[in-house]
Amino acid sequence: MILVNLTKYDNSVAIKKNSTLNFAVYNEMKKRCIHIFITLLTTQTVFSQKDTTFNNLNEVVVTATRTERKLGNSAVPVSVISEKTIKQAASLRLNDVLNEQAGLFLTTSFGTGVQMQGLNPDYTLILLNGEPFIGRTAGVLDLNRITVGNVQKIEIVKGPSSSLYGSEAMAGVINIITKQPISNNYSASLRYGTYNTFDASVSGAIKINKLLVQGFIDRYSTDGFTTRPNSVERTVAPLSRLTNQLQICYPFSNKTKLSIGARYSYENITNIIAVTNTGSVNYSEGKEIHSDLNISPILTHQFSKKVSSSLRLYHSRFKSTQDLNTTGTVAYNDLFIQQFYRAENQTDWTLNNKISLNIGGGYLSENVRSSRYDNENNDKKSSVAYGFIQGEYKAKDKLTFIGGFRYDKNEIYASAFSPKLAIHFQPIKKLSLNASIGRGFKAPDFRQLYLNFTNTAAGGYSVFGVLEAQAQINHLAQIGQIASYENDYYNLAALKPEFSTGINVGGKLSLSSQSFVSFNIFRNDIENLIDSRLVANYKSGAQIFSYLNVKNAYTEGIELNLGCKFYNNFTLTSGYQLLLTADKQQVSDIKSGLVYTKDATGIARKMDISEYYGLPNRSRHMANIKLLYEKNNYFYNLRAIYRSKWAVTDKDGNGVYNTNDEFAAGFVQLNFSAGKQFNNGLSMQAGCDNIFNYADANNLPNMIGRNFYITINYQFTKTKK
């Protein structure tokens, strides 16, 4: 499988609707939208009119604007995954939850990452209670690291959000919000499933006078999964994870409150491979260990009814060590330590009943130590000072404008300015419309700045970060190892941030208290994409790469969601995303007759634009449908996830992904769970994920086979709010 990084391949262009490719896709999208809408309308006669909780427009969200706001008044695309939804789907890790959401695709390179609006995982910011996770590998934050056993809800904001959150928020933000201590309650949960998968958790909260303390411990382990049952080697490696979380809340007065959150996780992964030596096969183990520590004190004070302020401090430390065996004679060893510090203040000011402001600023510092950099004993450092302001103006009861910007001053790369403007309009009670345009950015990461890596096991090629490249290559030239320089060697310069201009236009129509349909049309134009380029050649023939700001990118699409309740006990929800991508230079070259492909007989010919597919590792169509039945204390939950084919290999070697290349097959994954709540606090749940036992070892190595499980949960005391 070839898994690609957006910084290497995502150069895109708006495809004109009169082109053969886009016109066909446009018509297909139009037909699908009309069909879904008509289907929803024609089933209205069976909808119950009693339950008014289905459309959760009064749900309070904080991620979209960094202030509490009702979901129905949000001017940007935001969705909420509730604790109930997570529990009924029997999700254990964050990847389980996101895998079943419309418009999100999970990638499988360097762990499990999330692709949003066609943009790769390094462009989506993952937060825990508003604070960023660190510890990415090649830009990917492994979602398997994050347990959801004590999550209250997950908020997903799609589209550029750098005006509030800075770097890495080009595609959007996913904020995991954990349960906050309320009063005395205790619970325990135990789950066992296929592949000797074991998950146990305990949580409890206690109130001592004013002090509220809540703790959570989760232990997860699995023997892993293999597509070859008789092999000791694992497709998904055996592992164990331990997560500890602590929340402390102390109100000094009615106006002042201190909250402290702490989290520590430890992960141990076993790497088993077959090593052939003198004709015999032996199995050898290697270890990969990750530890993650987060501490976040927050002090809030209400100065008056119109003015409140919060001071947030945050520290995070991620450490990864890898001592892995290879099929060669040399083991692979790696050390990576990243530390993140931040201090931030935000003040919210309500000027009058029409105008409110949010003003904030802060300072963050990061340092990284890695054996892949020039000296693993020297920390690489970066610091950023930033400020942001956001204003809201309620022109009328039904019309709201939200605008703001953020300025980031970095000591290494050029400064970044990120504005955003959003409009929310509710012409009638059942219809809300919103539109937003924003600027997102992603700073060059430590890898692109400082990497010093030579792969001796794969031909001896080297990759140097831009700050090290010229010095390293000059040194190699002095000792007689450089054969030639490429033109891009002379273009090496300080990297600029990658920028995205994102437009989102959408709306939600409540057809009744029991049904809705919503849509969002999006487009992202990305500038200054950082691409790896060949800059020099060794005398041995091996190549040397570094990084340059050289490309632009483009993605666009539409997302549809609908839901309805019928016959009192049934809930049906569904989502669909159409994604179009293209490469500007590639499309230009194809139209100019510069790109060739091969016909069935292997004869080269000019490629036609109608054969162009777009960017690799992206499905044009993604959909899900969920059917839930609830009655008394029982529930039955059936979910289907569909993903259409996606390009994986440039089979004809022309550097362009087209219909003659290799594709991963589209598939449907079916999951089912059922449970019962007893009156004494006991609940039980059982289910099966991947019922069809779909497997694709080459293109979906992290997808495990059919997985049965059973869960028992006991609530010792009921929470009293």
- Distance, first Cα to last Cα, the chain: 51
pLDDT digits (tens, 9 = 90+) for 512-564: 888 999 999 999 998 888 888 889 999 988 999 999 887 787 899 999 999 99
Separation of alpha carbons 546 and 562, rounded Å:
46
Whole-number Cα distances in Å, 136 to 144, 516, 532, 689, 700: 12, 38, 18, 28, 20
CB atoms within 10 A of CB 119: 26
Whole-number Cα distances in Å, 249 to 67, 246, 401: 19, 10, 34
pLDDT value at residue 411: 82
Beta bridge mates, 67: none
Residue 13 confidence (pLDDT) above 50 = no
| Range with the poorest average pLDDT among 176-185, 472-481, 616-625 | 176-185
Confidence of residue 412 (pLDDT cuts 50, 70, 90): confident
Residue 44 confidence (pLDDT) above 70 = no
Using CB atoms within 10 Å of the CB of residue 319, give its burial: 0 to 12 exposed, 13 to 18 middle, 19+ buried: middle
Q: What's the chain's length in residues?
A: 721
Does 280 or 475 have the greater pLDDT score?
475
pLDDT value at residue 6: 37
Using CB atoms within 10 Å of the CB of residue 620, give its burial: 0 to 12 exposed, 13 to 18 middle, 19+ buried: buried
Q: How does 187-223 read in b/e, with b if 16+ C-beta sit within 10 Å?
A: bebebebbbebebebbbbbebeeeebbbbbbbebbbb
| Range with the poorest average pLDDT among 183-197, 274-288, 330-344, 407-421 | 274-288
Helix H or strand E encompassing 712: strand 707-715
What is the Cα 280 distance to its own chain's centre?
A: 43
Separation of alpha carbons 57 and 128, rounded Å:
23
> Do 395 and 417 form a contact (C-beta atoms < 8 A)?
no
| Range with the poorest average pLDDT among 34-48, 66-80, 228-242, 451-465 | 34-48
Confidence of residue 41 (pLDDT cuts 50, 70, 90): very low
Residue 319 confidence (pLDDT) above 90 = yes
Q: Which amino acid, residue 521?
A: I
List phi, psi (to 5°) of 577. Answer: -130, 130
Instruction: Work out the average pLDDT over 254-281.
Output: 82
Q: Which amino acid, residue 590?
A: I
CB atoms within 10 A of CB 601: 5
Q: Which amino acid, residue 85?
A: T
pLDDT value at residue 638: 96
pLDDT value at residue 49: 32
Percent of the chain predicted with pLDDT > 70: 86
What is the Cα 551 distance to its own chain's centre?
A: 23
Confidence of residue 56 (pLDDT cuts 50, 70, 90): low
pLDDT value at residue 234: 64
Helix H or strand E encompassing 366: strand 355-370
Percent of the chain predicted with pLDDT > 90: 52
| Range with the poorest average pLDDT among 112-121, 230-239, 647-656 | 230-239
Residue 3 confidence (pLDDT) above 80 = no
Using CB atoms within 10 Å of the CB of residue 493, give its burial: 0 to 12 exposed, 13 to 18 middle, 19+ buried: exposed
List phi, psi (to 5°) of 556. Answer: -155, 160
Q: Which residue has the tokens 């949010």?
A: 358
Residue 1 confidence (pLDDT) above 80 = no
pLDDT value at residue 38: 38
Q: Is 697 left (phi over 0), alpha (psi -120 to 50) or beta?
A: alpha
Using CB atoms within 10 Å of the CB of residue 642, give its burial: 0 to 12 exposed, 13 to 18 middle, 19+ buried: middle
pLDDT digits (tens, 9 = 90+) for 570-606: 999 999 999 998 888 788 889 999 999 987 777 889 9
Q: How does 413-435 read in b/e, with b if 16+ C-beta sit within 10 Å?
A: beebebbbbbbbbbeeeeebbbb
Q: Which residue has the tokens 């619970």?
A: 187
Instruction: Work out the average pLDDT over 93-113.
Output: 89
Query: Quick one: tokens of 713?
Result: 């949960």
pLDDT value at residue 332: 67
Does 116 or 278 have the greater pLDDT score?
116
Separation of alpha carbons 2 and 297, rounded Å:
42
pLDDT value at residue 232: 58
Residue 486 confidence (pLDDT) above 70 = yes
Closest CA to 558 of 582, 526, 522: 522
Separation of alpha carbons 628 and 638, rounded Å:
6
Numbers of helices and strands, H then E, in the chain: 8, 38
What pTM was computed for the model? 0.87
| Range with the poorest average pLDDT among 25-34, 36-45, 136-145, 690-699 | 36-45
